[in-house]
Copies of this chain bind each other. A is one copy, B any other.
Amino acid sequence: MTALTLTTFNWVPDIPRGYVRDIRVRWALEEAGLPYRVASVPFDARNAEHFAHQPFGQVPWLTDGDISIFESGAILLHLGQLSDALLPSDPRRRSAATEWVFAALNSVEMASLPWAILRFSGDGEETPGRKRMDAFLKGRLQHMEPILAQREWLAGGFSIADIAMADVLRLVDRFDGLAAYPACRNYVARATTRPSFVQAHADQMAHFAAADQAMSAD
């Protein structure tokens, strides 16, 4: 097997810690038990090499031998091809897990991320824009709720679909957006108590804490 390297920022402010998208990749790697190393790029000075790997100047990206992949969804699909623990080999279940990765990112996160941005924009709760984005997210969550009440995981056993969906929903939960959706909350709790998530989260927090120590030692 070729070496897997996950690249993330060397440091981020406190608020995004624990929520930087490298956690999706760490989680998958821990879940599959795949060996990997972590590399860092400067948060404050994004250079041409960074943009060559990630054209929007964000993180994470993954290198696997001579292939470099950005977009957490694409990385999850790539890792899924390396391990049945992440993506089932049965064609129907594999197709189901793949479509739910897209649903997490393109149907739910497309509503939840702008909702989170607007929530902290300073606009009043009753502005038309806030109300439309609240309704957009509600339209997604009200359909996820009965699905997650009936299923332990989205596509048979635990898969990359659950890494994507649980990570998207846990940001909504952080800002109290799941209060009316107990099945969604229970799903987030189910997913984030897995040892693979606990390890991935601790590793991300330790990675950024180490940067604080390095800076204070300068």
Contacts and interface: CB of A to CB of B under 8 A. Distances in A.
Given A78-B95, A110-B110, A117 B103 contact: no
Grouping DSSP codes into helix (H, G, I), strand (E, B) and loop, the A interface class, with mixed when no group exceeds half, is helix
Contacts of A121: 127-129, 132
B122 A128 contact: yes
A31 interface: no
A71 B102 contact: yes
Nearest to A113: B110
Contacts of A67: 91-92, 95
A118 B129 contact: yes
A95 B53 CA distance: 13
Interface stretch (A133-141, A186-194, A201-209): A133-141
A70 B117 contact: no
A67 B91 CA distance: 9
Nearest to A55: B143
Number of copies: 2
6 contacts: A55-B144, A66-B92, A74-B102, A118-B132, A121-B129, A122-B128
A147 B57 CA distance: 13
Interface string A97-119: 01101110111011001100110
B106 A133 contact: no
Given A58-B107, A74-B102, A114-B136, 4 more contacts: A56-B107, A72-B102, A74-B103, A122-B128
A79 to B, nearest CB: 12
A130 interface: yes
Contacts of A101: 74
A73 interface: yes
Contacts of A212: none
A69 interface: yes
B117 A127 contact: no
Nearest to A68: B95
Nearest to A70: B99
A106 B109 contact: yes
A84 interface: no
